[in-house]
Amino acid sequence: GGVSCVDFHPKEMVCGVGRSNGTVSLIDLESFSVLASQPVGRDVVAGWEEQNNRRQCLSFGQSGESLFFSSSRYVAKFAVKSGEEGKTLTYQTGYSVGEEDRAEEILALRGVKGDRVISSSISSAGASVWVGVAKEEGEEVGENNVDEFKVEEEKKVEVDEKENDENSEDSSKREQKQKPKQPRSRTLSTKHRNPTTSSTSSPIPNKTNNNPSPSTPTHNHNDTQNISNNNNTTNTPTATTRTQKTTVEKRNEEKKKRENKGEERAEDRKRKELLEGHDALCVALANRLRNIKIVRRMWNKGGNFRVEALTQLRKMNDSTTSMDILRLLLLTPERPQDILTKDVQIPLLHLVKDLCLSMELEVCVFGFQCLARFVTCSGANIKKEMKEEKGRAGGV
C-alpha cells in the first residue's frame, strides 16, 4: 500500500513509515535503507482496509522503544528494539477506539505519553480527547502582576487627582495675595512671548494648566496595558516548536558523537597496525642478526668450516642474509680473490645463482652484480695459478 503517515524517532536518525495496508517500516535516514518492516496483527487487521482507512496516524513513544499506528477505529502498538543485527520491529497488541474517528485525536500532538496508549474505555464512552499547551509558571505570574499593576495605577490616579485639585486651590489663593509678576513669569516661558499680553493674563489659566496633569497617567496606564498584552502574546512559544528544537539538537549531538567515535576507532586501528608492523620488523631483524652471527662464527674458523658456513647459509633460504654475506665477501674487499679459494668458489656460486633466479627485482640485480664480481675474481685467480705453475716448471 501507499505511504499514509510518517514520524521521526525522538533519539535516533530513524524514521517510521505507515502504509495504508497496515504495514509499518523503519527507515535509516543516513543510508535510506529499510531496517525493519512488520504488519499489524490479525486481531486488528480488519480495521486497515484501504478503502475504509483514509485517516491514519503514526507516533513514536517518548523513549523511542514503542511505536503506535492508528487507523479510523484501531490503534496498534509495536515494540522497537536495538540489537547487534540492527533494529527489530515487533507487533504487540491492538486497541479499539470505538466506531467514531478518535484515533487521530489520540495520537495528534504527542497524545501518546509514557509509551502507553489512552484507554479504549474513554474513547468508546464518547469522551473527547483534548490536547492543550500548558503555560509556564513565569507566564501566569506575569499575568497576575499585570492585574495588580492595573489596580495600583487606578488608585494612584485617584490620589494624584485629589492632590492636584488641592494644590490648584492653594496656588490660586496664594496668587491673589502675592504680586502678579511671579505667576506671569512662569506662563511667559511656556506659552507667550510678548510681555504685554502676559501682564493682562489672569491667574485663572493656572487651573487649566494644572488640570491636564491627572489625564496624563491614564494615558500611560493604557500604554502599559497594551505593552504588557503584546509581550504576553509574543513571549508564549508553543510546545511543538520547543519539542522540535530539542529533538533536532539531540540528533545533532548524537551525530557528532558517532563521528567522533568513528574517528577514534580509525586512529586506534592505524595505531594497532603500526605496532604490529613494528613488532614484525623487530622479529625479522632479530632472526637476521642471529643467522649472520652463526655464519660469521663458522667462517672465522677457516678451512673446511668456510664451505660448511656457505652451505648452511644456503639452507637458511634467507635472501637478505645472503645479500649481506655476499656484500662482505665480494663487493666490499679490494682484493676478494684472496678469499675465493677453489673449495669456496662452488658453494659461493650456488648462492649467487639463487639470487639471480629470485622473483624480486632488487635481489635479482644484486645477484648479477655478484656474479660479475665473481667472474672477474675467479679469472684473476686462474691467471695467478697459471703463472705460478709456469714458474715452477721453469725452475725444474
Q: pLDDT (tens digit, 9 = 90+) per residue, 218-242?
A: 444 444 445 445 555 445 556 667 7
User: What is the model's pLDDT at position 393?
Assistant: 64
Indicate whether 311 pLDDT > 60. yes
User: What is the model's pLDDT at position 246?
Assistant: 81
User: What is the model's pLDDT at position 300?
Assistant: 81
117 pLDDT band (50/70/90 cuts)? very low
Question: What does DSSP assign to residue 338?
Answer: G
188 pLDDT band (50/70/90 cuts)? very low
- Mean pLDDT score of the chain, rounded to an integer? 68
Query: What tens digit of pLDDT does each residue of 16-35 get?
Result: 998 888 889 999 988 888 88
Share of the chain above pLDDT 90, in %: 2
pTM for the full predicted model: 0.31
User: What is the model's pLDDT at position 291?
Assistant: 83
Indicate whether 8 pLDDT > 60. yes
Residue closest to 209 by CA, chosen among 191, 222, 224: 191
Residue closest to 330 by CA, chosen among 360, 358, 310, 316: 310
The more confident residue out of 10 and 357 is: 10
Burial of residue 69, with CB atoms counted within 10 A of its CB: 0-12 exposed, 13-18 middle, 19 or more buried: buried
Indicate whether 133 pLDDT > 60. no
Query: What tens digit of pLDDT does each residue of 280-310 get?
Result: 888 888 888 888 888 888 888 877 877 888 8
User: What is the model's pLDDT at position 157?
Assistant: 59
39 pLDDT band (50/70/90 cuts)? confident
The more confident residue out of 204 and 327 is: 327
The average pLDDT across 194-209 equals: 44
Alpha-carbon distance of 129 to 105, in angstroms, equals 6
Indicate whether 272 pLDDT > 50. yes
The average pLDDT across 69-93 equals: 83
CA angle, corner 80, sides to 42 and 82, nearest 5? 140
User: What is the model's pLDDT at position 38?
Assistant: 87
CA angle, corner 386, sides to 385 and 388, nearest 5? 65
